[in-house]
């Protein structure tokens, strides 16, 4: 999760666009949600 956020932040800063950060956060949260549901 932290690596996804760091990568998204780095891309967002480099491109001067927030979309990579938003996408990385969305994907990381989706991964956590999918694995949390699988453990139930």
pLDDT digits (tens, 9 = 90+) for 1-21: 888 889 888 999 999 999 999
Q: Is residue 12 within 8 Å of 19, Cβ to Cβ?
A: yes
pLDDT, one tens digit per residue, over 20-36 is 999 999 999 999 999 99
CB-side exposure of 34: number of CA atoms within 13 Å? 6
Tokens of 5: 């956020």
Reported pTM: 0.72
Task: Check residue 10 and give its pLDDT.
Answer: 92
For residue 40, pLDDT over 90 is answered with no
Q: How far apart are CA 35 and CA 20, in angstroms?
A: 23
Q: Is residue 20 within 8 Å of 12, Cβ to Cβ?
A: yes
């Amino acid at each position: 999760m932290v690596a996804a956020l760091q990568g998204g932040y780095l891309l967002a800063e480099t491109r001067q666009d927030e979309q990579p950060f938003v996408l990385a956060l969305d994907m990381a949260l989706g991964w956590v949600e999918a694995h949390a549901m699988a453990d139930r």
